[in-house]
Amino acid sequence: MKQVVATGKPVVSDLITGVLSGKPTIILAYPVRDPADRVVGAVGIGLNLARLQTLFSSIPLPEGSVVTLTDAQSRVLARSREAERYIGTVVQSTPSPIRDVPATQTLAGVDGIRRFFGNAIVDRGPWLLSVGIPTSVAAARIAPLWRRNLAISLSAIAAIMIVSLWFAHLLSGGLGRLRSSVRQIADGDLSPPSKSKVPNLELAQLQDGFITMAANLREAHQALDHQIEQERRMRETLQSLQRQVVRQERLAAVGVLVSGVAHELNNPLQAILGTVELLERDNGLRPEVREEIAFIKTQSGRAREIIRNLSRFSSQQTGPPALVDLRDVVAEVVQLRQRDLDASSIVLEVDVSALRKVYANFTEVEQVTLNFVINAQQSIEATGRNRGRILIKLFDVGKKVRLEVHDDGPGVTPEDEPKLFQPFFTTKPVGKGTGLGLSVSYGIIESYGGSIGHRGNDWGGATFFFELPIIDPASVPPAPSSSGTSTDDPAPVLQRSISPRI
Ligand code: ADP
């Protein structure tokens, strides 16, 4: 009280034993001031801590818990348990000043029991109010919470894992489909990959990119195939041209030779025929001599025919060119060969659709066509099967007219094919073939700017064809005079120049 009067400030006493109550007490002393604010006295309030203890004890706390009030010197002022025993005891573990005491701490109390403390500072004292729950009780209380939290955490982890697994499954499904599409392309199958459902945008974009890439690859592949095919065709064309050049050169050389031979043979042959005709006029000849002369005449006639063919082979032109309707040529060939073909049970079909005319020599073109048909007939007859089929086709091809003769004979062997148009090439028996028909035909067609050739056909036989250009008659030079150029007259062979065209 003296201190209050002297300082004029409120004072909290140390722990004392109440004079009246005999119980642990604290005196709270406050100054009393007059109107002039002078300290004129002091008033003290005794705080019976036993009542406080009763209050602390009534707080519902778990078994073994304790509520303690300590003063600034860490002396126990009030305690909910065993108050009589510990009041006034100094708690050694409380740090000084008590304001430094942490809000929560775990330590052994004055009774030696380890507790989990929650601390609060009462400013007035200052006093420290602590609520301690035994750590074992706290742990027992917290355990279910831990278990619940653990269960919640485990459930959450499991849920996350399930979602992740499901997502990974979707992802791996999408990737698997992409992988199989890649493998399909790697195996050379460039057909468009099917668009499947994918779990996210990135995979969808990847799939789109992949489909585009496959389409580009397919296009590139097709372009490459196309290029390779073009190159193959060009190579074939080049090889065919090379073969033609070689053949033409060979034919030209043979043409020069043949022309010379024909020229040399024609004069003695004419002389023989003339002499034979003179001899024939002698009426006194014996029959066997007359027979011999007839034989000489026949053989000389044959020789003249061969020379005539040779002359055609090497000549530049055998007659005046004119507008020729190849339909007329076909009609005449049919008329000429029909009877013979019927006799061999060979059916002759005609398919004519060409409307335009060509500019050539009718007889020569007829000769070429006739040669094709006779060769076709002979090839069928050579099989010995006594029936067959020949088709003559005539149609327009651009600015050309094309004539084809198809047969169902044995066809031409690959070894014979390159020799077909060479003079004297024949596979027929002696006396039946001269090997000049196709080479003469070659010369004729080439002389009119056309082309001639052979290919195999679907019947397994041969197809021989020629194409002649349709020429505007206005652009054709006037026909040369026909005097002395008759094809029946072998004499002009002697005057004809040899052309390197063949
Ligand atoms: P030739 O008929 O006198 O033998 P060609 O020049 O007309 O002479 O024919 C030459 C060769 O071409 C023939 O011997 C034959 O081997 C072959 N040939 C021609 N036409 C045909 C055909 N339609 N089928 C099979 N081979 C053919």
pTM above 0.85, yes or no: no
Q: Tell me whether residue 237 is in a domain.
A: no
pLDDT, position 315 = 57
Q: Which domain holds residue 38?
A: 2-138
pLDDT of 481 reads: 38
Q: Which of 58, 56, 80, 62 is nearest to 137 (CA)?
A: 62
- Domain harbouring 409, CATH code: 3.30.565.10
Q: Is 303 within a domain?
A: no
Q: Which of 367, 434, 438 to mutate to test the pocket of ligand 1 (most atoms within 8 A of CB)?
A: 438
- Ligand 1: centre distance to CA 497 (Å): 28
Distance from C-alpha of 489 to C-alpha of 491, rounded to nearest angstrom: 5
Rounded Cα distance between 255 and 257, Å, is 5
Confidence of residue 88 (pLDDT cuts 50, 70, 90): confident
Give 99's contacts (C-beta < 8 A, 6+ positions apart): 121, 126
- Residue 311 scores a pLDDT above 90: no
**How far does residue 416's CA lie from ligand 1's centre (Å)?**
10
pLDDT band at 312 (very low <50, low <70, confident <90, very high): low
Residues belonging to the chain: 502
Rounded to 5 degrees, φ, ψ at 219 are -60, -45
Residue 306 included in any domain: no
Domain end: 91, 123, 138, which one?
138
Distance 494 CA to ligand 1 centre (A): 28
Residue nearest to atom 14 of ligand 1 (CA): 426
Q: What is the mean pLDDT of residues 202-213?
A: 80
pLDDT band (50, 70, 90) for residue 390: very high
Q: What is the DSSP letter of 368?
A: H
Number of domains in the chain: 2
- Does the pLDDT of residue 473 top 50, yes or no? no
pLDDT class of 264 with cuts at 50, 70, 90: confident
Mean pLDDT of the 152-171 span = 88
Q: Which atom of ligand 1 is nearest to the CA of 416?
A: 16
CA of 427 from ligand 1 middle (Å) equals 7
Placement of tokens 């000769």 in the chain: 367
Crossing angle (nearest 10°) for helices 201-280 and 135-186: 10
**Residue 326 clears pLDDT 70, i.e. is over it:** yes
DSSP conformation class of 429: P
Which has the minimum average pLDDT: 228-232, 461-465, 490-494?
A: 490-494
Confidence band (pLDDT; 50, 70, 90) for 496? very low
Give me the DSSP letters along 134-172.
EHHHHHHHHHHHHHHHHHHHHHHHHHHHHHHHHHHHHHH
Average pLDDT over every residue of 218-228: 90
| Mean pLDDT taken over the chain | 82
| Number of other residues whose CB lies within 10 A of the CB of residue 3 | 14
Q: What is the pLDDT of residue 247?
A: 66
Average pLDDT, integer, range 256-269: 81
- Which of 247, 309, 426, 502 has most ligand 1 atoms within 8 Å of its beta carbon, as the pocket-test mutant? 426
Can you tell me whether residue 70 is helix, strand or coil? strand
Name the nearest CA neighbour of 500 among 330, 328, 321, 245: 245
Q: How far does residue 405's CA lie from ligand 1's centre (Å)?
A: 13
Taking the C-alpha atoms of residue 304 and residue 279, their distance in angstroms, rounded to an integer, is 19
- Is 203 domain-assigned? no
471 within domain boundaries: yes
Is the residue at 278 inside a domain? no
Q: For position 499, what pLDDT does the model report?
A: 33
Which helix H or strand E contains 339, and what residues bound it? helix 326-343
Protein residue with its CA nearest to atom 13 in ligand 1: 426
Q: How far away, in angstroms, is 389 Cα from ligand 1 center?
A: 17
Closest ligand 1 atom, CA of 426?
Answer: 14
Q: Does position 331 have pLDDT exceeding 90, yes or no?
A: yes
Protein residues with CB under 6 Å of any ligand 1 atom? 371, 375-376, 379, 407, 409, 412, 416, 420, 425-428, 433-439, 462
Nearest ligand 1 atom, CA 435? 8
**321, two tokens:** 């060119």
Q: Which residues contact 409 (CB under 8 A, 6 or more apart)?
A: 376, 379, 380, 382, 383, 388, 461, 462
CA of 375 relative to ligand 1 center, distance in Å = 6
Average pLDDT of the residues in 383-405: 95
Last residue of a domain, one of 138, 164, 187: 138
Which of these three, 138, 162, 186, is where a domain ends? 138
**Domain of 132: which CATH number?**
3.30.450.20
Determine which residue's CA is closest to atom 3 belonging to ligand 1: 433
Please give the distance, rounded to the nearest whole angstrom, from the Cα atom of residue 161 to the centre of ligand 1.
86
**17 in any annotated domain:** yes
Task: Output the CA–CA distances (angstroms, integers) from residue 423 to 60, 437, 486, in the order listed.
Answer: 134, 8, 23
**Is residue 279 included in any domain, yes or no?**
no
Q: How far apart are CA 456 and CA 477, in angstroms?
A: 37
For residue 344, pLDDT over 80 is answered with yes
- For residue 493, the CA-to-ligand 1 centroid distance in Å is 25
Q: Which residue has the higher pLDDT, 163 or 477?
A: 163
